[in-house]
Amino acid sequence: MNMINKIKPAVPKRILFFLAAFVWVFASYKILNLGLIDVIKNTTDYWINIAIGLVIFYLFFKYVFYKMYLKHTKRIINSRSEFPCMFSFFDIKGYIIMFFMITAGITLRKADIIPHIYLATFYIGLGLAIFLAAISFVYSGIRYNFVKDKFYNTNI
């Protein structure tokens, strides 16, 4: 156990929020980029697709990513280790979900089951929701002491 603690890439809890934000900003950029390019290439009425994407954004952020942000924030704050592993900004379940989402997105896109314009509209909403989750993690990193007081030993 002592050897593992010596070699694990440990960081302060506050840094975990910035690492999570970095991962989500990268993911949101890739997804938004695909969505916006496909919408602009495949229609002249792209404002309709962007408006629908905003509805998808609202639903995904409110019901998926905000809850995920709260769960991981609470878990990080209440972690026993003051210097957890730098990859512990998500739990195992979070990494599995992320792997599934990436795999499903690539598979749907490559299989051409869903027309690209519809998938692109969905990507716009999903990318924006992930981006706002990233901003939420940045907020927790910047306002760490406030967030720590709010989430320490709470039931969310």
Using CB atoms within 10 Å of the CB of residue 152, give its burial: 0 to 12 exposed, 13 to 18 middle, 19+ buried: exposed
* Span 61-110, pLDDT tens digits: 999 999 999 999 999 999 998 899 999 989 999 899 889 989 998 898 89
* Span 112-137, pLDDT tens digits: 899 989 999 999 999 999 999 999 99
User: For the chain, what percent of residues have pLDDT higher than 90?
Assistant: 76
> pTM score, two decimals?
0.90
Q: 69: number of CA atoms within 13 Å, CB side?
A: 25
